[in-house]
Amino acid sequence: MNRIKATELLRKYVEGTCTDEEQQLFEQWYANLNSEDHHLLTENELKLAEQEMLGRLPVSIPAKTVRLWPYATVAAAIGFAIVAALWLYKPDPKTSNSNMEIQARNNILPGNNKAILTLADGSRISLTDAMKGELAEQAGVSITKTRDGQLVYQIKDSGKNANVYNTIETPRGGQHQVILPDGSKVWLNAASWLRFPSSLALATERRVELRGEAYFEIVHKSQHSPFVVVTAKQEIEVLGTHFNVSSYADEGTTRTTLLEGAVRLNVFTGQSYVLKPGQQAVSGENQAINIRNVDVNAAVDWKEGLFVFNKESLESIMQKLSRWYDVDVVFENEQLKKQLFGGRVSRFSTVAEVLDVLELTDLAHFKTEGRRIMVVK
């Protein structure tokens, strides 16, 4: 095999456009690669091929994610094994880092289970430090932290129930799961908060407020007890369904993605829309709604322990990394923000592994100082 053929097969292999015969040819050639063949690919092309091979190894991700968060330590151990090559549609990368730069990157670790619960009386409980067991009781509702780290609300005495509100908030670098008083499950992504009444299970309308991103699995009650999620730009009404809402203030848009069931979106202009499974509704500053069919797995990648990028801008990617790794990101110029990348990477990889793979494209490089990342050409 000559160099032109090798690089062409590598490009198609990374982009996923190989025929079955080409994929088999490339994998057999790579498996039998010897020192005499190394000149056919550059060092970074060989590294790219190796990471793509690793990325295609079968990886077990729990179908039920109730116990996803406690597996963070295990996931970190296998993180490198599921780092798949990220690609931009231009090959022949090159990169280098000083020892200090590498050390700075290695010091930035992925996020984990961190959240603060604020009760109706203003008292704050760190769910990171709290021991398992009952954390508090208010207005006839018991609040418990399970062995798996979940926050569970249970009504003990409905006669004492009052309309009091709690807020659970995750910092940058944090995530958490809560089981609401009505039994509905919510997974909170980094830099997010959810406000809800402790009397949720008894309310005629189960209404919660969200800022940031969360995945919901809603318990069906009845037609007369809808579940409503209120964001800065949308009001999402459901009866019983699985959906994801991303409504970060720094992104300027709200994205609601439906996996199962049906939801009705109400925007503050008075318009109403009904989503079907596999659809995503995006609303911006002008409140206009754009509904499109999407890969729902990409929308809930964070809940499954992954970042999945599909021709996504570097600006959007770095926003996600900023929240998850608790770092500040600065771009050298505006043009870099528009570069498009695709691929996937484990959320439990170190930031060093993520940035190293991004640099393989040779379209962007990164300088790390403490918890500040500069994106440069």
pLDDT in tens, 77-93: 334 333 444 444 444 44
The more confidently predicted of residues 33 and 25 is: 25
367's CB contacts (< 8 A; 6+ apart) are: 101, 373, 374, 376
pLDDT value of residue 128: 84
Confidence of residue 257 (pLDDT cuts 50, 70, 90): very high
Query: Is residue 320's pLDDT more than 90?
Result: yes
The pLDDT of 110-131, averaged and rounded, is 88
Backbone φ and ψ of 160, nearest 5°:
-90, -5
Burial class (CB in 10 A: 0-12, 13-18, 19+), 163: exposed
Instruction: Judge contact between 192 and 172, C-beta under 8 A.
Output: no
Instruction: Judge contact between 187 and 175, C-beta under 8 A.
Output: yes
Query: Is residue 15's pLDDT more than 60?
Result: no
pTM of the predicted model as reported, rounded to 2 decimal places: 0.70
Number of CB atoms found within 10 A of residue 131's CB: 7
pLDDT value of residue 356: 86
The pLDDT of 217-241, averaged and rounded, is 84
pLDDT in tens, 265-281: 887 777 888 999 999 99
235's CB contacts (< 8 A; 6+ apart) are: 228, 229, 265, 266, 267, 268
Nearest Cα residue to 184 out of 155, 211, 212, 221: 221
- Strand pairing partners for 261? none
pLDDT value of residue 23: 76
Q: Is 261 helix (H, G, I), strand (E, B) or coil?
A: coil
The pLDDT of 363-377, averaged and rounded, is 92
Instruction: Judge contact between 344 and 355, C-beta under 8 A.
Output: no
- Strand pairing partners for 53? none
Q: How far is CA 144 from CA 151, 163, 207, in A?
A: 6, 19, 22
- Looking up tokens 């990157």 gives 105
The more confidently predicted of residues 22 and 338 is: 338
Burial class (CB in 10 A: 0-12, 13-18, 19+), 100: exposed
pLDDT value of residue 242: 93
Confidence of residue 34 (pLDDT cuts 50, 70, 90): low
Instruction: Judge contact between 245 and 237, C-beta under 8 A.
Output: no
Query: Is residue 160's pLDDT more than 80?
Result: no
The more confidently predicted of residues 301 and 221 is: 301
Query: Is residue 134's pLDDT more than 80?
Result: yes
Burial class (CB in 10 A: 0-12, 13-18, 19+), 324: buried
Query: Is residue 365's pLDDT more than 70?
Result: yes
Return the structure tokens found at 129: 């430090």
Return the structure tokens found at 230: 């209120």
- Strand pairing partners for 237? 228, 264
Percentage of residues in the chain having pLDDT higher than 70: 73
pLDDT value of residue 149: 80
Nearest Cα residue to 287 out of 275, 270, 310: 270
Supply the DSSP symbol for 168: E
pLDDT value of residue 90: 44
Domains plus CATH for the chain? 74-108+304-377 (3.55.50.30), 112-294 (2.60.120.1440)
What is the C-alpha to C-alpha distance for residues 51 and 203, in angstroms, rounded to an integer?
51
Return the structure tokens found at 91: 């090959």
| Lowest pLDDT segment from 58-72, 210-224, 313-327 | 58-72
